[in-house]
Every structure is written in C-alpha cells, then in structure tokens.
C-alpha cells in the first residue's frame, strides 16, 4: 500500500489535468469523497481537478460544501484527454456510466474504493474493503502524508463517513469513529452536517413514506419487501434510505428488500440485513456490495425479479 501511495503522489505531481468521478447516481460518500479529494489535490499540489458524475444528483446533497465543483459529465464542454483519472467509491464497472469515456481518455487511472470488486478497471488500486467509507481511505492518505486540510475538506470527509455509516449505525470498527473524533475536535459540527442533508423535495419524502406503508412481509415477518413502481421512482431523491430505515424499525424484521422499477424491465434491488450476510444473494443477482448492505440491477420485469429474490431468500432463511 505504501509503495502504491508513493506512485499515486508521483502521478498527481506530474499531472496537469485530473478528473475525479464516483459512481452513477451518486450518494453522499461518492460526492463528498470526490470533492474532498479534489480540494486536497488543489491545496497540496496546485492543480484543480474536474469532478464529474453521471445520473441524478440527489437534492439531499445540494448543500454539501463545494457542491458547485461537481459537474454533470454531459455539461462539461471541450474535454480533451486527462493525465490522471481517479475513480472513487464506484463499486463495479457497471456503476461508472457515461463518465467512462473520460476515464478511458486518461493516461493513468487510479481507484480509491471500499467496495469489493473482482475486476478493477484501474492501473493502480488504493482500495480498502474494511473502510466504512471511501472518505475514510482519503482521510488516511491525507493524514499519513500530512497534506494540508481545511474546514471544507473536514466537513466533506465527515459527511462521507456519516452518510455511508448511517450516522455510525453501520460502523463495524472503531476507525471511522476515531476519525470523526479528530474531525469534531478540529471544528466539524455533526448536527449542522446532519441538518444540511435535510433537503429532500416534499414529494420524495411523502413517496418514501407511502412506499413503506405498502410494504409486504414474508417468512413470518422476518423479511420486509418494499416496491417502488416506475411512476413513483421518478419522485424519489437519491437512494430512498428512509424506506429501508422505516422498515428496519419493525420488530422481528431481519431482512429488508427494496425493489425499484427504474425502467419497465430494469429493477434495482437493495438488500439490507440485521445479522446475516446478504452480499451473496446480491452476487447471485449479478450485483454486489457490502456484507449487510448489498444490491443489484436486474434486467427483467418487476414480477420476475420479485419472485426470484424471494426464492433466493427462501433458500437463505433457515
């Protein structure tokens, strides 16, 4: 890892143009770790990287510091080639989306990620699959190399960790909490950061509540299943975590399945579990993710995907 970090620094030093991208339909970690890294590079190396995303940018994240530095890739004019591309928090190649052409144009590609990925697309991987967020890996790099930080970077790192750990609920190690302790001592205000995320459109919140209220329950109430049909999908903002949170409050629910009909025959499947791994089921559906929070996008009808997922759970639940 140390050698890899040295190569990374050399690549930044010699780059005149840098592009940073996360995954399509970005979440808090994807956006905030990209913006934090961009600012770190700007402050420490004097090159201002271009940050791009594909898909929908959630309204929820509109108030994060330096939001204006993150651009929809399709709106960026006259991009030539880049000396260096850095992919953060992308997961697997299918999540890269339209920014792939910019990544491909780069002389050298580095990835910084905490997702499991058997087929990395980069020349250099700075991945750590036990990290709670990509922001955690970036913090460690910046800290180890004694890079200059400021309050914007600290807030962005804190946001990436807070959003990916569900405000520490999903933190399985002490490291992200130790980092947060340091950030709070340096002036980060968690309550303020939490409040700036309260920025969803009314229709998104009301749709999430309505979808949760229509949830179905299987296997003696151990599995909750929420379905977002196409007409409602457009009204959502971001990953609709509130549906998962609401269902997770119910006594006896051990697993949560959320099906989102993105298109007629394109269904996003999100899986959450309290105690047993669900990443195996996500892999069987062609996706992946973390042990207790995983997902896939399946190209089939809603009915078929629903039946298949329930069948996989039938095999899993003893």
Find the part of the chain contacting Mn ion (CB under 5 A) among 69-77, 84-92, 141-149, 172-180.
84-92
To the nearest whole angstrom, how small is the minimum distance from the Cβ of residue 317 to Mn ion?
Answer: 28
Q: Considering only residues 18, 29, 36, 90, which one is a binding residue for Mn ion as defined by CB under 5 A?
A: 29
Query: For tokens 């929820």, what's the residue?
Result: 60
Smallest separation (angstroms) from Mn ion to the CB of 88: 8
Short-list 241, 240, 269, CA closest to 257:
269
Residue 197 beta carbon to Mn ion: minimum distance, rounded to whole angstroms? 15
164 lines the binding site for Mn ion (CB under 5 A): yes
List 217's β-bridge partners, or say none: 224
Locate all alpha helices (DSSP H) within the chain, ordered by sequence: 2-14, 28-45, 100-105, 134-144, 151-164, 175-185, 190-196, 202-213, 230-233, 241-248, 279-284, 302-316
CA angle 116, 248, 169 (to 5 degrees): 55
Estimate to the nearest angstrom the gap between the alpha carbon of 282 and the chain centroid: 16
**Residue whose C-alpha is closest to residue 50's, from 27, 33, 71:** 71
Q: Is 111 in the site for Mn ion (CB under 5 A)?
A: no
Q: Which residue is nearest to Mn ion (CB)?
A: 29
**Cα–Cα distance for residue pair 197/124, rounded to 1 Å:** 33
Window contacting Mn ion (CB under 5 A); options: 46-54, 143-151, 158-166, 252-260? 158-166
Q: Which stretch binds Mn ion (CB under 5 A): 48-56, 121-129, 131-139, 263-271?
A: 131-139
Is 89 a binding residue for Mn ion by CB under 5 A? The answer is yes
CB 216 → Mn ion: shortest distance, Å?
29
Least separation in angstroms between residue 114's CB and Mn ion is 6
Binding site for Mn ion (CB under 5 A): 29, 89, 134, 164
């Amino acid at each position: 890892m140390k050698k890899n970090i040295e190569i990374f620094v050399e690549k930044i030093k010699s780059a005149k143009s840098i592009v940073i991208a996360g995954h399509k339909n970005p979440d808090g970690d994807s956006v905030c770790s990209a913006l934090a890294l961009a600012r770190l590079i700007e402050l420490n190396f004097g090159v201002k990287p271009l940050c791009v995303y594909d898909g929908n940018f959630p309204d929820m994240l509109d108030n994060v510091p330096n939001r204006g530095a993150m651009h929809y890739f399709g709106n960026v004019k006259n991009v030539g080639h880049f000396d260096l591309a850095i992919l953060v928090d992308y997961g697997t190649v299918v999540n890269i989306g339209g920014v792939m052409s910019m990544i491909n144009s780069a002389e050298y590609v580095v990835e910084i990620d905490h997702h499991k990925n058997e087929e990395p697309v980069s020349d250099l991987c700075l991945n750590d699959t036990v990290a709670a967020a990509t922001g955690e890996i970036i913090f460690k790099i910046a800290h180890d190399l004694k890079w200059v930080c400021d309050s914007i970077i600290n807030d962005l790192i804190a946001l990436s960790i807070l959003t990916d750990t569900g405000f520490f609920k999903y933190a399985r190690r002490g490291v992200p909490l130790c980092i947060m302790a340091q950030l709070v001592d340096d002036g980060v205000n968690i309550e303020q950061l939490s409040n700036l995320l309260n920025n969803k459109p009314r229709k998104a919140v009301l749709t999430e509540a309505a979808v949760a209220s229509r949830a179905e329950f299987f296997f003696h109430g151990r599995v909750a299943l929420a379905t977002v049909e196409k007409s409602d999908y457009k009204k959502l903002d971001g990953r609709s975590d509130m549906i998962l949170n609401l269902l997770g409050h119910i006594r006896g629910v051990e697993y949560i399945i959320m099906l989102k009909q993105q298109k007629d025959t394109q269904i996003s499947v999100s899986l959450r579990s309290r105690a047993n791994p669900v990443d195996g089921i996500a892999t069987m559906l062609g996706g992946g993710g973390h042990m207790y929070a995983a997902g896939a996008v399946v190209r089939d009808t809603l009915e078929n995907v629903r039946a298949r997922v329930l069948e996989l759970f039938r095999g899993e639940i003893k």
